[in-house]
Amino acid sequence: MCPDLLDPEIIKQDFPIFKRRVYGKRLIYLDNAATTQKPRQVIEAMREFYQDYNANIHRGVYRLSVEATEAFENARKKVAKFINAKESEIIFTKNATEALNLVAYSWGLNNLREGDHILLTEMEHHSNIVPWQLISKYTKAKIDYISIDKEGLLVDDEVDRLMEKRPKIVSITHVSNVLGTINNVKKIVEHAHKIGAITVVDAAQSVPHMQVDVQEIGCDFLAFSGHKALGPLGVGVLYGKRDLLEDMNPFLGGGDMISRVWLENSEWNELPWKFEAGTSSIADVIGLGAAVDYLNSIGISRIRKHEIKLTKYALETLSEISDLKIYGTNNLEQRGAVISFNLANIHPHDLATILDEEGIALRAGHHCAMPLMNKLGVAATARASFYLYNAESDVDALVEGLNKARRIFKL
């Protein structure tokens, strides 16, 4: 077998959850855009922390605390290296949403005012829309949205037109969680920087699946979550350029983010701790470090190759089902491993119920992207999203399940 290709059946052995049965059937997990399953190595790293050296970090002088601090900061090193950033530029949050809110509040609130523009796209997740709506309310800055075409790609002319309004900040998703569209963030960041805008990339759907290099993209901020990248729930990451982070006010106040506190005021801690108020989710951060190790051991480019192959197979086999409408582009270079679809007029919730019975975990709903649903003219879609442990046999099971749904609904 070509060493370049992944064998999902071997990968699956690292994930204890695949031993379980769902209604007596094997688990076919196709909801990776929502959260991913955890390899033994991640679960083990967290168990070790709680069992062997559970202690609070940074302030303790005793052995356990030193070990915990080392493991915590070591995870930061791993994450920094993973996206080619400096350690001081990696801030741990509770999730990608909090990371985006951090930028919206700490940067947006202090730098935006009436007459300013914020530039987003129509394909954003609510987490990259709602924080800006809140900031827009406080600052009276106006939000513009780059529209998408029928294929689910950003319209280049619209990018140019809206950049002419000289937005102060441009915040865009790297990969759409609904359409799978991979946006050319590097190009948009370059354009935005030419007009002096600050740039934010929502990389929640890209970092787990493809090589993401913040130096290469050139963005000012980039956010992602750990749990979509085989890591535990409860930890997200914000990358930010050092000079910008230094100029910003803290997002949350509390312990750990200060260097000195008086009754009247406080001095902020150094980066990145200035933005990490209170006790962090230490075990989760350590677990994320283990997830990064795991991804590195497999190789992120191999994962991407595997996903392209699987997405190609899925697009081909799904398109053979009549009355099935797939959203997004067919160009595999511009598409992540996410396939949203509708089958005739069967409501996605009904589809998901029928597929559930076959052990297939598939998402149905608006995927936290209601403006995009409106644009597509649907209330909801069904969505299959793949990862390294998915195989062609999972796609085959999906197709079979959809054919069962056709029979039940007498199509």
Partner 1 sequence: MSSEIYRDMILDYYRHPRNYGSIEDAEIKVQESNPLCGDDIELYIKFDEEKNVKDIKFKGRGCAISVASASLMTELLKGKKLDDLLSFSKKDLLEALGIETLGLNPVRIKCALLPYKALKIGVYSHIGKKLSEEEKHILDYESESQQD
Token couple for 200: 């934010």
**x-or-dash string of contact with partner 1, 330-349, rule CB under 8 A:** ----------------xxxx
364 binds partner 1 (CB under 8 A): yes
Q: How far is the CB of 355 from partner 1 (least distance, A)?
A: 9
Q: How far is the CB of 356 from partner 1 (least distance, A)?
A: 7
Instruction: Determine the interface stretch with partner 1 among 25-33, 149-157, 222-230, 372-380 (rule: CB under 8 A).
Output: 372-380
Whole-number Å distance between alpha carbons of 111 and 247: 11
- Helix/strand/coil for 161: helix
379 binds partner 1 (CB under 8 A): yes
Q: How far is the CB of 28 from partner 1 (least distance, A)?
A: 16
**x-or-dash string of contact with partner 1, 120-159, rule CB under 8 A:** ----------------------------------------
Strand partners, 341: 326, 382
Alpha helices in 218-327 (DSSP H): 242-247, 282-298, 300-318
Q: How far is the CB of 353 from partner 1 (least distance, A)?
A: 6
**How many other C-beta atoms can be found within 10 angstroms of the C-beta atom of residue 89?**
21
Instruction: Determine the interface stretch with partner 1 among 111-119, 220-228, 236-244, 366-374 (rule: CB under 8 A).
Output: 366-374
356 binds partner 1 (CB under 8 A): yes
Q: What is the DSSP letter of 257?
A: S
Q: Which of 9, 357, 392, 400 binds partner 1 (CB under 8 A)?
A: 357
Q: How far is the CB of 408 from partner 1 (least distance, A)?
A: 5
Longest Cα–Cα distance in the chain:
72
Whole-number Å distance between alpha carbons of 233 and 288: 9
Residues between 36 and 55 with contacts to partner 1, criterion CB under 8 A: none
Q: Which of 279, 296, 331, 353 binds partner 1 (CB under 8 A)?
A: 353
371 binds partner 1 (CB under 8 A): no
Judge contact between 182 and 174, C-beta under 8 A. yes
Instruction: Determine the interface stretch with partner 1 among 213-221, 231-239, 318-326, 363-371 (rule: CB under 8 A).
Output: 363-371
Q: Which helix (H) or strand (E) holds 117?
A: strand 117-121
The total number of residues shown for the chain amounts to 411
Q: Which of 43, 332, 370, 411 binds partner 1 (CB under 8 A)?
A: 370
Token couple for 329: 């582009």
Of the pair 23, 62, the CB lying nearest partner 1 is at 23
CA-based nearest residue to 123, from 168, 206, 181: 181
- Helix/strand/coil for 169: strand
Whole-number Å distance between alpha carbons of 366 and 242: 36
Of the pair 177, 199, the CB lying nearest partner 1 is at 177
Crossing angle (nearest 10°) for helices 282-298 and 40-52: 150
CA-based nearest residue to 29, from 20, 14, 195: 20
Instruction: Determine the interface stretch with partner 1 among 106-114, 183-191, 255-263, 360-368 (rule: CB under 8 A).
Output: 360-368
Q: Can you give the binding site for partner 1, defined by CB under 8 A?
A: 23, 346-350, 353-354, 356-357, 364-366, 370, 373, 379-380, 404, 408-410
